[in-house]
Structure 1
Amino acid sequence: MNIGIVAGGPQEALADLAIYKDKVDLWIGADLGASYLLDQNITIDIAIGDFDSIDHNTKNKIKYSASIYKEYPIEKNETDLELAIEKALTYDPDSIFLFGVTAGRLDHELANIQLLYRLLDQNTKAVIIDRQNEIAMFKPGKYQVCSNHNNQISFIPFSSTVQDLTLEGFYYPLSNETISWGSTRCISNHLIKQHGTFLFNHGILIMIKSTEEDNLS
């Protein structure tokens, strides 16, 4: 099962959710994210959060439309997104797509990116998607990556070092290199073939696929 979670980040940065309808089996709207699902005519399987970001009429529409509606008090230990992720994990999903979690408040954005590590630690595949970016996190191993829309692809260490990083099929190849916090060595690369490979032996690695605004359709 693939689960899509939509949070309440800025709407102008939100990806076109319709593109992912065939990839997502269950949709969860976290607070304002449930309203975004309504706006894009996507069935709300679960609506969850404190719903302090929406007006009364919209909240009632969400209650009526959602198969499952769970409202929490405003003062709570978890963010609405954390509640949505906890609910998603009860379905033992193969992957989770996270929308509406970037491009807003910086503290929220950084915390949301760190949630990728929590999911990685539980062996749940997850990716953050907005209008211009896809962000994923990886444990040591060998992975294939493909590119669309002239993506720029960057690799950033999430651990203090990532060791023995090799990039194959990229414009700037790499062979068994160590990259550390603060390094820009692997920023703004791109594929020279339809598919490329990256592999490493130690550390935690973030991959960001970005599309320039002018190339967005």
Structure 2
Amino acid sequence: MQRIHIVAGGPEYLIPELHFQDEDIVVGVDEGVKFLANRNIAPNAAFGDFDSISSQEFSSIINDPNIRTYTFEQEKDMTDLELAVRWGLEQLPDMVVLYGVTGGRLDHELINIQMMSLGLEHDIAMKIIDTKNEIEIKNPGKYTVEIRSDLPYVSFVPFSQLVKGINLEGFRYPLYDADLVFGSTLCISNELVTKKGTYSFDDGILMMVRSKD
């Protein structure tokens, strides 16, 4: 399975330990390149206007023959992260994973989460990971969830105005053929009571958030 890991410039304390496989592609976005350097990780590609790093740091990136560098003007119609995500999806990986996209400015965090809908459009799985949460969104279907001691809480949030026919099995609070409207807290803070559970739904777009305390 090939994954593209994109590290952006959100608060570094929310970026977890990073471990990659040989076939993975690692992308730094603006200050995310510096975060990777701080962890002795060399990216395969770098995106941004690089207004968040020093000229010396930028020079080391642009002159590294092993890093494909994509530079952009500060004034543009897409954020640096969206440009990197769209490029990542064009590579047709099995999954795109985002780090450094939560915390900090709320406007950026909200749109970064909404950006996961691009994965659905391309039929490519996307996930956001930080030190406290994992987030993914799904089209209708049935999915398996494994219990995790590090992320015990499982919440389901409507990503569309209405999500129809939700079923939760193997959870402390099961649910059968329920509808979830935008803004509802019905499916917040559930927990698995079996090693594996399932969730399914018939229509709409649903976000699953796995969290720790």
After the TM superposition, which parts of structure 1 deviate over 4 Å for at least 4 consecutive aligned residues?
none
Q: Is the 8 A contact 1:3 1:24 kept in 2?
A: no
Q: Is the counterpart of residue 178 in structure 1 residue 194 in structure 2?
A: no
* Equivalent residue, structure 1, for 2:31: 32
Please say if residues 4 and 24 of structure 1, whose CA atoms lie closer than 8 Å, have aligned partners that are also in contact. Answer: no
Specify the alignment match of 2:164 in structure 1: 163
Check the 8 A contact 2:61/2:67 in 1, yes or no.
Answer: no
Amino acid paired to 1:134:
E
Match of 1:88 in 2: 88
Q: Which deviates more, 183-192 or 65-74?
A: 65-74
- Range with bigger deviation, 159-168 or 58-67: 58-67
Residue of structure 2 in register with 1:75 after alignment: 75
What is the alpha-carbon distance in structure 2 between the residues aligned to residue 44 and residue 152 of structure 1?
Answer: 32
Range 137-146 or range 82-91, more displaced: 82-91
Q: Could you tell me how far apart the structure 2 residues matched to 1:13 and 1:68 are? A: 26
Cα displacement string for residues 68-111 of structure 1 (whole angstroms, at most 9, x for unaligned residues): 11211111111010111122122111100000011111111111
Give identity over the alignment, percent: 42
- Return the letter of the residue paired with 1:141: G
Q: Which amino acid aligns with 1:80?
A: D
Q: Normalising by structure 1, what TM-score?
A: 0.92
Whether the 8 Å contact between 2:151 and 2:210 is mirrored in structure 1 is no
Task: Report how far residue 58 of structure 1 moved.
Answer: 1.7
Stretches of structure 2 that go unaligned for 5 or more consecutive residues are none
Deviation at 1:147, TM superposition (A): 2.8
Aligned match of 1:207: 208
Question: Structure 2: how far apart are the matches of 1:63 and 1:118?
Answer: 28
1:48: how far off?
A: 0.9
After TM superposition, give the deviation of residue 24 of structure 1 in Å. 6.4
Equivalent AA in structure 2 for residue 48 of structure 1: F
* Pairwise CA distance, 1:39: 1.2
- 2:40 matched to 1:41? yes
Q: For residues 135 and 23 of structure 2, what CA distance do their matches in structure 1 show?
A: 17
| Maintained 8 Å contact 1:28/1:44 | yes
Superposed displacement of residue 64, structure 1: 4.0
AA paired with 2:156? F
TM-score between the two structures when normalised by the length of structure 2? 0.94
- In structure 1, what is the equivalent of residue 53 of structure 2? 54
Q: What amino acid maps onto 2:122 in structure 1?
A: Q
Aligned to 1:138: 138
Q: 1:87 to 1:43 in 2, by over 3 A?
A: same
SS at the partner of 1:131? coil
Report how far residue 22 of structure 1 moved.
Answer: 2.8
- Which piece of structure 1 moves more, 169-178 or 58-67? 58-67
Distance 1:10 1:23, change over 3 A: farther
Deviation at 1:16, TM superposition (A): 1.4
Matched, 1:13 2:14: yes
* Structure 1 gaps, min length 5: 213-217
Q: For 1:175 and 1:161, locate their aligned partners in 2 and report how far apart those are by CA, in whole Å.
A: 16
Aligned to 1:108: 108
- Which one is further off, 108-117 or 55-64? 55-64
Match of 2:192 in 1: 191
Q: CA RMSD in A?
A: 1.4
Change (3 A) 1:150 1:75: closer
Give the paired residue count. 210
